[in-house]
Structure 1
């Protein structure tokens, strides 16, 4: 599948800030399931700084915007070809040991409810357990836009019984780690439709390390493994760690955020 992606993130400030520093994890991962044809990142009024590939295999760029800054827009435009690898992350080079992803964070800490959910699953091997954990999370947390916030933890989403893709990913990560399986949060894009209408947006899912097979993606929000509709950007311990855009504004101001994402299939 060939996809065209446009992603704009605009920040505005009620009082101009002195400067803005950003770390962008907005370049698609390099692996067998996707190949970039064209990709351009721009930051209005920004100057590109250092760029590097971290230990998890993610490409990170630093940008600086000198003030006074009232508004700044981060824009991504690109073409990428994807194919279905049944969720298996093949050909992705990274130096970090999977063991480090057994560490929990405030967003993925397992409480009594998550521990009970993780223990309720039985399977023949690690891969089977991972699939069953994903199915259990899908059943336990109904996909409900607006039901949670960005700071909602996996435990809170499970107790509420509702959430969005971020909550499904956090809950699955918590359950997998509880069963001794390294798990991490993945940010990216998903091309799909809802009710026959295009529904293109930024998306998130989880990856679980299952022995010799390596990292395998699980999207509990959609009850499936990532296929050719998915574009992988980067990963982390949780949503905050894997955020595509992280930064700091220098000055006292109230920040407003507007995000627009469009993913379109291009005929071969």
Structure 2
């Protein structure tokens, strides 16, 4: 499938700041399931800094904006050719061992309720069956309700209220997988979806490491494994760690954020 992306993020400050430094993971991953046709990232009044590929295989690009500045726009545009690999992350180069992703974070720490949910999958035969069962359990336990949670909601909090969005499904699935000893990580990216009740184009899902197969994606929000409708950007221990844009502003003042993402299928 050929997919186009138009992603605009606008930061506004209630009074000018002295400058902004950002770190981006906004270039799609290089693996057998997707190939870049064209891609660009621009930052209004920004100066491009150094770039590197981290141990997880993600391309990280630095940007700085000199102040005083009261508004910054980050725009991502491009086209990606995707192939359905049934969720398997084949051909992705990384140097970090999978066992690193057994480490918990505050957002993905399993409380008693998450542990009990995970235990329902323990009797499944094999890691792959356990992973599929965990994804289904999380889908059933947390209803997809836009706006029900916020950026800092933890997996335990989302399960307790029984509502959330893709971030909450993903962090809860990660918590359950790690409880059973399965390395798991958070993936940020895009999703081409249409129809009433479709999730937003900026999307997230989990990857669980299965012996003999490697990393496999599980989207509990949509009860499926990622296919050719998905574009993978990068990964991390949780939503904050895997955020496509991270940064800091020098100077006081409150920051507001607007995000608009459109993913469309392109006629080949």
TM-score normalised by the chain length of structure 2: 0.98
**2:184 alignment counterpart:** 183
Report Cα offsets for 1:54-107 as digits up to 9, x if no partner: 000000000000000110100001000001000000000000000000000000
Tell me the residue number matched to 1:208: 208
Report the number of matched residues.
267
Deviations 1:165-197 (A, max 9, x none): 0000000000000000000000000001132x9
The structure 1 segments of at least 4 consecutive aligned residues displaced by more than 4 Å after TM superposition are 197-200
Q: Would the aligned equivalents of 1:193 and 1:200 in 2 still touch at CA under 8 Å?
A: no
User: Is contact 1:22-1:247 (8 Å) kept?
Assistant: yes
Q: Residues 198 and 236 of structure 1: is their aligned pair in 2 closer, same or farther, counting only changes over 3 Å?
A: closer
Tell me the alpha carbon deviations over residues 24-56 of structure 1, each in whole angstroms, 9 at most, x when there is no partner.
000000000000000000000000000000000
Structure 2 distance, partners of 1:211, 1:199, is 30
**Structure 2 counterpart of 1:163:** 164
Assess if the C-alpha contact under 8 Å between 1:200 and 1:263 holds in 2. no
Whole-angstrom CA distance in 1 between matches of 2:156 and 2:187: 19
Does 2:60 correspond to 1:83?
no
Partners of 2:148 and 2:46 in 1: CA distance: 35
> Cα deviations across residues 125-154 of structure 1 (Å, max 9, x unaligned)?
000100000000000111010111111100
Name which of structure 1's ranges 117-126 and 57-66 shifts more when overlaid on structure 2: 117-126
Output the aligned Cα RMSD.
1.0
* Partners of 1:9 and 1:259 within 8 A in 2: yes
Q: 1: CA distance between counterparts of 2:132 and 2:14?
A: 47
Taking the aligned partners of 2:220 and 2:200, their CA distance within structure 1 comes to 18
The question of 1:130 aligning with 2:99 is answered no
Structure 2 unaligned spans of 5+: none
| 1:135 match: secondary structure | helix
Cα distance, 1:212 vs. partner? 1.4
1:66-105 aligned at under 5 Å gives the runs 66-105=66-105
Question: Matches of 1:113 and 1:58 in 2, distance apart?
Answer: 33
**Partner Cα distance (1:113, 1:239) in 2:** 21
Q: CA deviation at 1:198?
A: 7.5
TM-score (norm 1): 0.98
Give, in angstroms, the shift of residue 124 of structure 1: 1.0
Residue range with higher mean Cα deviation, 33-42 or 118-127:
118-127
Matched, 1:16 2:20: no
C-alpha change, 1:133 and 1:200, in structure 2 (3 Å) is closer
Would the alpha carbon gap of residues 154 and 199 (structure 1) be closer, same or farther in structure 2, given more than 3 Å must change?
A: closer
Q: Which range is displaced more, 24-33 or 197-206?
A: 197-206
Matches within 5 A, 1:168-247: 168-195=169-196, 201-247=201-247
- Is residue 88–residue 214 contact of structure 1 (8 Å, CA) maintained in 2? yes
C-alpha separation between the residues in 2 aligned to 1:65 and 1:218?
Answer: 37
Post-superposition Cα deviations, 1:5-38, rounded to whole Å, max 9, x if no partner, equal 0000000111100000000000000000000000
Q: Greater shift after overlay, 116-125 or 18-27?
A: 116-125
